[in-house]
Every structure is written in structure tokens, then in C-alpha cells.
Amino acid sequence: MTLDKLKTGKNAGIITVGGDGALRCRLLDMGLTPGTAVMIRKIAPMGDPIELYLRGYELSIRLEDAQKIEVEELD
Amino acid sequence: MILALAGNQNSGKTTLFNQLTGSNQHVGNFPGVTVEQKSGEIRGRKDLVVVDLPGIYSMRPYSSEEIVTRDFLIKNKPDGIINIVDATNIQRNLYLTLQLIELGRPMVLALNMMDEVRANGGTIDVNALSAELGIPVVPIAAAKREGLDELVERAVLTAGEKRTPKRLDFCSGAIHRAIHAITHLVEDHAERLGIPPRFAATKLVEGDAPMAEALGLNNNERDTIEHTVSEMESELGLDRNAALADMRYRFIEGVCAKTVTKQRESVAHLRSIRIDNILTHKYLAIPVFLSVMLLVFWLTFGVIGMPLSDLMSEGIDRFTRFADTVLTGYGLNAVFKSLLLDGVFAGVGSVLSFLPIIVTLFFFLSIMEDSGYMARVAFVMDKLLRKIGLSGRSFVPMLIGFGCTVPAVMATRTLSSERDRKMTILLTPFMSCSAKLPIYAVFTAAFFKEFQALVMIGLYIIGILVGIICGLVLKNSTHRGKPIPFVMELPNYRFPSVKSVLLLMWDKAKDFIVRAFTVIFVATIIIWFLESFNYQFNFIEDSEYSLLGTLGRAISPIFAPLGFGDWRAATALITGFTAKEAVVSTLAVLTGTSVAGLGDALGTMFTPLSAFSFLVFTLLYTPCVAAVAAIKREMNSALATAGIVLAQCGIAWVAAMLIYQAGRLLIR
């Protein structure tokens, strides 16, 4: 499934980061690499963007970008 | 000796820079871009200059900040690099470290926030980390000034003896082979051009086209590289970008496993999560944010800034009156006296009275920024601004625009993308600033007694709507370029450092004062000159026959389609360029009444419809000279600024004309 479908508070492992160009590189640079454990901490009040927890810090990305990240639920 | 300070955003880089340099800072722009370059001498070491590079996460040249950092490190060849790393968030911070090491410059790692790591019962084996990375590592706590002397000492030693990193290789297997093959291939080109070969090779593996261009590779070489890379990709089952990021993070995970013992969740992190339970709460976030902004506005404009501003104008007034008596007693030539009192004192005085507001506003803004709240605002507001091609980060500057355009434009400095920054600067002036309120008050009282509040709210809404329309137009024309991806760290909340807050306030105040005495000074003198002389360059008291009056008469036909072809209205709009409050006082002078009696006089000049059209024009046309000066400073281009001023006048004209003509049709 893709990251935007993950329920808040659930852990998942990243399989692939899709998309292209600057955005994809930025996601990879921020540590969203294959195998990384990630959790959705929160969804912004207007429903977008979302707040992720990974590698010990919080990162916010937009839903449309989360759609490009393939994950598998861990718990 | 020049030391470059590089690190992630939120790693405490600015705090470290401020601690190292104190107030010996010089602020400038990097050549060609509006990215701020700060440098300063280390306290007590005149020979040591630190350059504060923009906070970045990676050396991929996508944002202007990353390009600036990369260019500075490669082209200016600083004697050494100080890489500041947030020890509480070490994995992601070391990602940049690995890329910086590839540059092959002498480098020291400043492991910041070690006090927090210790407080949480964690440890980091500094010696082991240093051995793994091949560079000296110095544990520090920048906010507490711990370890800074040792850091400077190590940096000077490393840079002085040109000790380059002991290892460049952090990879194994297929990537290792690919990078090595490519390093060999491009070594000669790179060394000839002064580009670190290893860095060049990694960039080529990433598929960095500008690097291939810079090295002047021929087709043969390019083909070989592409072949090597695709072999690597198929062996790893990952594409080039993912492979490199994966390789670096794997190495970092290995290093951390050996050197970092983490005992419990950090206090700062847990506290942040708790604070965010309210500040980014589904229902509370927006009300809390609006309350915070209301409080800031109330404190700035109501409690602290305004009284101080009033006090300042009062002081300037008194001084002017005093000077008047002295100069009259001295028998100074009337022209010179007018130049001093009506030109210099009045002009610069009225602008200087902004100063307390700007300083107070930046006091609150820097607290919001340094504490980490601004990132949450961006997170909460992003969805709204995305529709016009901006991100949540632009929300706060625009909101400040309702108070005063000058600090709003200055606040765009915190936006990380140049495109977003320029677009925000273009849109901010449409947020009706508080100096326009007196104009609205006089006109609505005279023409729309029953609906005063409604008309005022309507004006604010028109400003916002025009801003949105312009945003949409810009997004689909000149600023089509890809917006920087909204991938933003939400850092832990921290107490802002008093020093950073004070330094920022001082910076902004200095910046504004310098402008008040240069650009703004010249502009007020020009307006004074036009106001005080007639065609024959005789000094006159009655401004009706002045050059300004003549100019007003000359341009007044332009405003006829807007419903106010009266020369006095045109003249008032010209003086509004010095400060928007001047529109009202000029109208009072030209109609020969006081501001209090202006309402009746206006009744003969305007119909309710043309009055509304006039208000719309004042709402949208070019802001005051102080704001224009701020725009010029941030855009770093006189031509672009002139373009913006013209565009604003054009937009104001069209909007007011449409409203007036449509209104006439309806009324008929």
C-alpha cells in the first residue's frame, strides 16, 4: 500500500520511493530510504499535509507525495 | 583564515555562529541570488573569519541555498569546514556530513546539543565516531557555550595543517566500484578545474547534468559513465539516486550502532509531542494560531509598538518645533528652513516612527521562528496557500502585511526557496496595511456612514482576492517553475536564545535605519521639493501652485475613468508614496480644511461610488517608499522593483476602473 493510506499511529517499512526529480531526491535525502521504519504521527487540521516520524525526528510531507511512497505495515 | 560553517537547518548553526562571532557580523548577499551571506570574525581572533552558509540537508543543487553552499565550498575553497551536527538527531545530520567529506577539504565536526544527549542518559563515543568518519569530532553545546574554545582550536589546527579527511570511502560493493571507476575517468578533468574528483564522481553517479557540463566530458566519457551506472543499478536493483541515499544511510546506521547509545526518548522530543497535541491539534490548531497572531498584533500595534511610535513622533515633533524656534530666531533662509523642517525632519521622522513597530514585530517573529512554532504554522496552513502555488511558510509574512508591509517583506527572508520568497514579496503588499486605515476611516465616515465596517471589511477582502488572483496568474506565468518540494522538518520546540533574538532585532533595526537615511531620505526630499516650488522654481507656501500640484493636474486625467479626475485626489495619491497617512493630510491641505472637517469637503469632490473606487485604488496601488525600499532590498534588483511598483499601480487602476464603471452601469 502507499504511505498516504497508512493509519495514524501505525508503523510501516518503506519499500520504494516513487516519483521523480527534486522531490524524490529530497525524500531520499531526508532519510526515506527503502527499509526505513516510518510512522504517521498526525494529519494537519485541513487534512493535508501529514506529519511522519522516522529516524528519530518529525518530517512533514504532502499527501500527494506520500502517495508515491510504497510501504508495508509492520505491527 | 576562512572557516565555513555548514549544517542542517535546526542544528543550532545560527546559535553557534552568534556565539562564535558575537556582534562582529557582516551581512551581505551571495553573488547573484538573494540568499543572505553572514560572516564574522571569531571573538578575540581577528584573523579568523567564519562564513555562515545556508542551512541545508544535502548537496544536491536544487534550491538556491544548496547551490550557494556548494559553490562557496568548491569555488571559494575555505581553509576549513566546521560541520555542525545535531547530536539528538544524528542520523539525518550525518547524511550531509558524508557529502561534505567528499569535498576533501579540512573539516571538523561540531557535535552540538551534547548536553541534551547526556541529560537523556545517552552517550556518543566521540573518539570512535571520529575514527569512523576520519575527521576530528568535538562535542559542544552551542547554546551553553560549552566546548567552543576546543572547537575553534581544533578547526584552526586542522585547517592550518591542511589535514584533509582521512577517508572518502563510505561504500562497498557495486556503488564502490562505480564511484571508483568514474573517479578514475574524470580525475584529470576535475583536478584541472579544481573540483574535488571524488565529489565529482559521486555527482555523476547521481546523474548531475551541471557537473558533467562543468567537467567538459565528451560523449565517449558520458557513455562510459552511463554504462557504469546502469550496471550498478541492475546489480543493486535500485536506481542511482535511491542507491546513493541508501548507501549513505546504511553506512550511517552502522556508525551509529557502534558509537551511539540511546537510553531513553529525549525530554525535548517528548515535550514537543505534548506541545503539538495542542498546537497542531485537529480543531485547536487554527484557533490557537489565530489567537497567537492576534496577540502579537495587539502587543505590537496596540501595547508596545504604537505607543512607542507615538512617543517617537511626539519627540520628533517637539524637536522640530524646537528647531523651528531656533532657526527662525537665527533668521535662516525660509527655503532652507522648510527643507530641514518639512523635508528632512518630517520625512525621515515619519519613517523612523515605524521603527518601534518593526523591532517589536521582529521580536515576536524571531521567537516564533527560533522556538520551532513557525514550522508548525507552515504545516497547519499549507493547504490554503498551495492553491496559489505557495507553501504554508508564506502565510506569516502575508499576515504581517496586514500590520505593515515593511516587516512583512523583511520577514520573507525566512522562506527557503527563492521562488516562493519573490512570489510572497509580490503578493504581500495587497494585504491592506494598517497605515491605510486612516484613509478608510475618513472616507467611510463621509460616504458610507451606515455601512462603515462593511465597506472596510470589503476592502480587506478585495485586497486578499486581488492577491489570490495575482498569485494564480504568477503561478501560471512567470513563476511557473517547480515550487520547492514541501518536505519540511518539524524540529523539537526549544527556548529561543536571547542572544539570537536580540541580534535579529538589532539587524532588522539597523537595516531599516540605513534605508531610512538613504532611499527614503532621497524620496522625501524629492516630494518636498515638488511640494515647495513652482514652475519658476520660486519657493511657495501654497502647494496648489507647486510643481506637485501641477504634476497632480497633469496626471489627473488618468484617474478620470476611475471617477476621481480631480487634481487634488491625484496629488494626494502622489504624496501617499511617502506614507499612506499623507493621503489624508494632503487632501485636507488642498481642500483648505482640517482633517476633522475633511468629510464635508470630500462630499463635493467624490460621489459614494467614486469614493469607493478611490479607496480601492489606495488599497492596491504601490505601498509607501519604506516598503518599496524593503522590496528592493529583498529582490536585490532596482529594475524588478520598478516593475513591481508599475504593476501595482496598473493593477490598482484596472481594479478601481472596473469597479467604478460596473458601479455606474448598475446605478444607472
Do B408 and B434 form a contact (C-beta atoms < 8 A)? no
* Size (chain A), residues: 75
Model confidence band, residue B233 (pLDDT cutoffs 50, 70, 90) = very high
In this complex, is the C-beta atom of B91 within 8 Å of any C-beta atom belonging to chain A? yes
Percent residues over pLDDT 90 in chain B:
47
Q: Do A33 and B249 touch (CB under 8 A)?
A: yes
Q: Is the pLDDT score of B308 beyond 90?
A: no
| Beta-strand pair B2-7/A69-73 | unpaired
Do residues B50 and B154 share a domain? Answer: yes
Say how many domains are in chain A: 1
DSSP code, position B563: T
Total domain count, chain B: 2
CA dihedral B634, B639, B645, B646 (to 10 degrees): -160
Chain centre distance of CA B542: 43
Residues B61, B188 within the same domain? no
Residues of B with CB below 8 A from A55's CB?
A: 89, 91-92
- When mean pLDDT is compared across B243-247, B329-333, B391-395, B533-537, the lowest value belongs to B533-537
Phi then psi for B394, rounded to 5 degrees?
-80, -5
Residue B595 inside a domain? The answer is no
Pull the grid cell for residue A19.
Answer: 516519483
> What integer pLDDT is reported at residue A2 of this predicted model?
95
Tens of pLDDT, residue by residue over B396-451, are 889 888 888 988 998 887 777 778 888 999 999 999 988 888 889 889 889 998 88
CA distance A62 to chain B (A): 7
Chain B contact probe: residue of A26, A59, A68 with most B CBs at under 10 A: A26
Contacts of B491 in chain A (CB under 8 A): 57-58
Asked if B282 reaches chain A (Cβ–Cβ under 8 Å), the answer is yes
Average pLDDT, stretch B616-634? 91
- Is there a single domain that holds both residue B7 and residue B35? yes
- CA A23 to chain B, closest CA, distance in angstroms equals 5
Q: Which domain holds residue A64?
A: 3-73
Q: Is the pLDDT of residue B29 over 70?
A: no
- What distance in Å separates the CA atoms of residue B298 and residue B292, rounded to the nearest whole number? 10
How would you label B265-301 residue by residue, b for 16+ Cβ within 10 Å and e otherwise? ebebbeebbebbeebbeeeebbebbeeebeebbebbb
Query: For the segment B355-384, what is each residue's pLDDT rounded down to a tens digit?
Result: 887 788 888 888 988 899 989 999 999 999
- B329 falls within a domain: no
User: Can you list the alpha helix ranges (DSSP code H) found in B22-89?
Assistant: 64-71
> Could you tell me which of B134, B121, B49, B100 has the C-alpha nearest to residue B202?
B100
Same domain, B151 and B7: yes
Q: Residue B484: pLDDT band by 50, 70, 90 thresholds? A: low
Same domain, B185 and B250: yes
B220, three cell numbers:
565517449
Identify all chain A residues contacting B379, using CB atoms and an 8 Å cutoff: 44, 49, 51, 60
Band the pLDDT of B575: cuts 50, 70, 90: confident
Q: Which residues of B touch A53 (CB under 8 A)?
A: none
User: Domain boundary residue among B261, B288, B316?
Assistant: B261
Rounded Cα distance between B662 and B53, Å, is 53
Contacts of B657 (CB under 8 A, 6+ apart): B561, B562, B613
**What pLDDT, on a 0 to 100 scale, did the predictor assign at position B544?**
74
Q: Are residues B216 and B245 in the same domain?
A: yes
Q: What is the average pLDDT across B87-107?
A: 94
* Residue B11 contacts A, CB cutoff 8 Å: no
* Shortest Cα distance, chain A CAs vs residue B95, angstroms: 8
Q: Chain A contact for B488, CB < 8 A?
A: yes
Q: With an 8 Å Cβ cutoff, are A33 and B380 in contact?
A: no
**Is B245 in contact with A29 (Cβ distance < 8 A)?**
yes
In the predicted model, what is the mean pLDDT of residues B112-141?
94
Q: What is the mean pLDDT of chain B?
A: 88
Residue B638 CA: distances (Å) to CA of B436, B629, B631: 25, 9, 9
Phi-psi region of B32 (alpha: psi -120 to 50; beta: other; left: phi over 0): left
Q: Give the largest CA-CA distance in chain B.
A: 92
A-chain CB neighbours of B391 within 8 Å are none
> Do residue B111 and residue B183 come from a single domain?
no
Span of A19-28, B23-32, B280-289 with lowest mean pLDDT: B23-32
Residue A54: closest C-alpha in chain B: B92
Q: Which of B155, B228, B169 is nearest to B198 (CA)?
A: B169
- CATH (domain of B180): 1.10.287.1770
- Within 8 A by CB and 6+ apart from B499, the residues are B15, B18, B19
| Residue at B111: amino acid letter | L
In this predicted structure, what is the pLDDT of residue B199? Answer: 92
Compute the nearest-CA separation of B451 from chain A (Å).
33
Task: List residues of chain A with CB under 8 Å from any CB of chain B.
Answer: 16-17, 21-31, 33-36, 41-49, 51, 55-62, 65
A47 exposure class (CB count in 10 Å sphere: 0-12, 13-18, 19+): exposed
Q: Looking at the partner chain, which of B276, B285, B485 has a beta carbon nearest the beta carbon of A26?
A: B485
The mean pLDDT value for B126-131 works out to 96
B487/A61 touch (CB, cutoff 8 Å), yes or no: yes
pLDDT of residue B34: 58
Q: Convert the pLDDT of each residue in B175-212 to its tens digit.
A: 999 999 999 999 999 999 988 999 999 999 998 888 89
Say whether A22 and B485 touch across the interface (CB within 8 A).
yes
| Domain coverage including residue B137 | 2-160
For residue B169, which amino acid is it?
D
Question: If you measure CA to CA, which chain B residue comes closest to A50?
Answer: B379
Of B160, B181, B207, the last residue of a domain is B160
What is the pTM for the complete model shown? 0.85
| pLDDT at A12 (0 to 100) | 96
Find the radius of gyration of the CA atoms of chain A: 11
From chain B, pick out residues whose CB is under 8 angstroms from the CB of A36. Answer: 249
- Domain presence at residue B652: no
Chain A residues touching B58 at Cβ < 8 A: 25-26, 29
**Mean per-residue pLDDT for A42-68?**
94
Nearest to B440 by CA among B652, B612, B622: B612
* Closest CA–CA distance from residue A17 to any residue of chain B (Å): 8
Q: How many CB atoms lie within 10 A of CB B489?
A: 18
pLDDT in the model for residue B580: 85
B490 by DSSP, 3-state: which? coil
Asked if pLDDT for residue B593 goes beyond 80, the answer is no
Q: Is B10 on the interface with A (CB under 8 A)?
A: no
Q: B62, B488, B493: which to substitute to probe chain A, counting the most A Cβ within 10 Å?
A: B488
Helices B625-635 and B498-516: angle between axes, nearest 10 degrees: 120
Q: Please report which residue ranges of B517-624 form alpha helices under DSSP H.
A: 519-532, 547-555, 567-575, 581-591, 598-605, 608-620
pLDDT at B162 over 90: yes
What would the mean pLDDT of B659-667 be, rounded to a whole number? Answer: 93
In angstroms, the separation between the Cα of residue A48 and the nearest Cα of chain B is 6
B237: which chain A residues are within 8 Å (Cβ-Cβ)? none
Residue B397: is the preceding peptide bond cis (ω within 30°)?
Answer: no
Are B27 and B113 in a shared domain? Answer: yes
Q: What angle do CA B43, B44, B48 make, to 5 degrees?
A: 75
Give yes or no: residues B242 and B129 share one domain.
no
Kindly state whether residues B103 and B209 are assigned to the same domain: no
The reply to whether B130 touches chain A by the CB within 8 Å rule is no
pLDDT value, residue B33 = 60
The answer to whether B325 contacts chain A (CB < 8 Å) is: no
Please tell me the distance in Å from B432's CA to the nearest CA on chain A: 26
In the block, which residue shows the cell 500640484?
Answer: B549
Grid coordinates given for B576: 501617499
3-class DSSP assignment, residue B476? coil
Going by pLDDT thresholds of 50, 70 and 90, the confidence category of residue B511 is confident
DSSP B342: I
Helix residue ranges per DSSP H, B145-298? 148-160, 173-193, 197-206, 209-215, 219-236, 240-259, 267-279, 285-297
List, for residues B309-360, the tens digit of each pLDDT value. 778 878 888 888 898 899 888 888 888 888 888 778 877 776 677 788 778 8
Please say whether the beta carbons of B551 and B574 come within 8 A: yes
Beta-carbon-side half-sphere exposure of residue B534 (alpha carbons within 13 Å): 9
* Strand pairing report for A37-43 and A50-54: antiparallel
Domain harbouring B35, CATH code: 3.40.50.300
Point out the least confidently predicted range of A2-11, A13-22, B61-70, B138-147.
Answer: B61-70
Which of B160, B192, B221 is the endpoint of a domain? B160
Same domain? For B208 and B256 the reply is yes
Select from B231, B182, B238 the least CA-distant residue to B205.
B182
Q: Is B93 on the interface with A (CB under 8 A)?
A: no
Size of interface A-B (CB pairs under 8 A): 120
Domain with residue A66: its CATH number is 2.30.30.90
| C-alpha B578, offset from chain centre | 23
Distance CA B619, CA B401 (A): 12
Asked whether residue B649 carries a pLDDT value surpassing 80, the answer given is: yes
Q: In the prediction, which pLDDT does A7 show?
A: 94
What residues form DSSP beta bridges with B261? B123
A17, A44, A48: residue with CB nearest B242: A17
Mean pLDDT of B513-522: 76
Which of B70, B99, B391, B486 best probes binding to A when mutated, by most A CB atoms within 10 angstroms?
Answer: B486
CB-CB neighbors (< 8 A) of B273 in chain A:
41
Q: Is the pLDDT score of B138 beyond 90?
A: yes
Please answer whether residues B624 and B439 qualify as being in contact, where contact means their C-beta atoms are separated by less than 8 angstroms. Answer: no
B195 and B242 inside one domain: yes
CB contact (8 A) between residue B489 and residue A30: yes
Instruction: Identify whether the C-beta of residue B180 lies closer than 8 Å to the C-beta of residue B227.
Output: no
User: B399, B377 in Cβ contact below 8 A?
Assistant: no
pLDDT at residue B564 in the model: 92
The CB-side HSE value for B256 (13 A sphere, CA atoms) comes to 19
Closest CA to B358 of B516, B135, B129, B169: B516
B332 lies in some domain:
no
Q: Which amino acid is at B39?
A: S
**If residue B49 lies in a helix (H) or strand (E), which one and from where to where?**
strand B45-52
B661 inside domain: no
As a whole number of Å, the end-to-end CA separation of chain B is: 76
Chain A interface test: which of B60, B69, B249, B265 (most A C-beta within 10 Å): B249
CA distance A66 to chain B (A): 10
B485·A65 Cβ contact <8 A: yes
A60 contacts in B (CB within 8 Å)? 375, 378-379, 382, 486-490
